[in-house]
Structure 1
């Protein structure tokens, strides 16, 4: 199975934790479980930058969302639900 650079399984994490941590200090690393992305390891500077950006966001609700964006969101949720049902 081919693996994306910066992507490791949970088994890899237990066997190669030092190498994976060293890589995560350079760029975000995805940890997969059963071939699905489950976690992301990233260095503290990147994490803090993301947290600062998140603090600047405003909270909204579906009721305050513009109609066009709501319709796009609704279509994405429906497509995801159909894909999820088809994979069962």
Structure 2
């Protein structure tokens, strides 16, 4: 059925969708088109886990940084400026 374990062509998907979906419920399945990976089918639990992990990223500004992180940032900028100044001399 599969070209390699867990990988199917788009033609396979149209002919054997039931089997491929059953496999995708157990582990992610790659769908290829012209021998290149194009899609991944995965069960909803894996998808939701990936979405939760991606939601852990945060965006902040200098105003929202903790004092400790801001001090580290200032020190890094100053060190870079000092190196740059030394390189120009």
CA distance in 2, matches of 1:57, 1:32: 30
Superposition CA RMSD, Å = 1.9
Match of 1:27 in 2: 27
CA distance in 1, matches of 2:39, 2:45: 17
**TM-score after normalising by structure 1:** 0.62
TM-superposition CA deviations, 1:42-84 (whole Å, max 9, x none):
000000000000001246xxxxxxxxxxxxxxxxxxxxxxxxx
Give 5+ residue unaligned stretches, structure 1.
Answer: 60-88
CA distance in 2, matches of 1:40, 1:29: 5
4+ runs of 1 displaced by more than 4 Å?
A: none
Q: Is structure 2 residue 36 aligned with structure 1 residue 40? A: no
SS at match of 1:5: coil
SS at match of 1:40: strand
Number of residue pairs aligned between Structure 1 and Structure 2? 59
CA distance in 1, matches of 2:3, 2:20: 14
SS at match of 2:38: strand
